[in-house]
Amino acid sequence: MADVKVGIIMGSQSDWSTMKQAADILDELDVTYEAKIVSAHRTPDRLWDYGKSAVDRGLHVIIAGAGGAAHLPGMMASKTRVPVIGVPVQTRALSGVDSLYSIVQMPKGFPVATMAIGAAGAANAGLMAAGILAVSDPDLARRLDDWRAALSNSIPDEPQDE
């Protein structure tokens, strides 16, 4: 696919309903992306190849979502200098706190920009990726400014009875 600058990767098909929130934001902002299942545990060679080729393939940002023992974002950050945004997927057993701790506590030298647990984190990952690309893309910067203004304008001044 031509000019794909954002890679969305996730550990499992079961992560897609969460990670789709990132994809939806990128769609809204007209940012091209690819979405792939890349598991640190189940497809380590795929992870390796993805990280190794990320710079040469022109990726500018990688959004990586995983749940539980969520090694994917950290492993990807260790394999490529392309910035990695980590999304802790909510789990049933520990509500995603396990995912959060697995992603956020990276050792010095291999950062992962870690978002909130779950859908909000995935949506914010899309916005963060767009913000990074907008630094050098004035058209996208305008679209992102408009998106942010529309969100602000949608917030009422006063609460209503529900």
Question: How many Å apart are CA 117 and CA 86, to the nearest integer?
Answer: 10
- Per CB under 6 A, the segment of 11-19, 55-63, 107-115, 143-151 that binds ligand RP5 is 11-19
Question: With respect to ligand RP5, which residue has the nearer C-beta, 9 or 31?
Answer: 9
- Both tokens of residue 125? 């990952």
Find out whether 15 is annotated in a ligand binding site.
yes
**Nearest approach, Cβ of 4 to ligand RP5 (angstroms)?**
22
Question: With respect to ligand RP5, which residue has the nearer C-beta, 88 or 126?
Answer: 88
Within 13 A of 19's CA, how many CA atoms are on the CB side? 28
Question: If you search the block for the tokens 């959060």, which residue do you land on?
Answer: 100
Find out whether 42 is annotated in a ligand binding site.
yes
**84-89 and 113-114: which strand pairing?**
parallel
Question: How many Å apart are CA 31 and CA 24, to the nearest integer?
Answer: 10
Q: Which of 36, 118, 33, 104 is nearest to 74 (CA)?
A: 104
Residue 46 sits in the site that holds ligand RP5 (CB under 6 A): no
Find out whether 143 is annotated in a ligand binding site.
no
Binding footprint of ligand RP5, residue count (CB under 6 A): 10
Q: Which residues, numbered 63-122, are part of the site for ligand RP5 (CB under 6 A)? A: 66-68, 89
Question: With respect to ligand RP5, which residue has the nearer C-beta, 1 or 93?
Answer: 93
- Both tokens of residue 142? 């305008």
Instruction: State how far Cα 22 lies from the chain centre.
Output: 6
**Which residue ranges are tagged as binding site?**
12, 15, 42
**Which residue ranges are tagged as binding site for substrate?**
12, 15, 42
Residues making contact with ligand RP5 (CB under 6 A): 11-12, 14-15, 39, 41, 66-68, 89
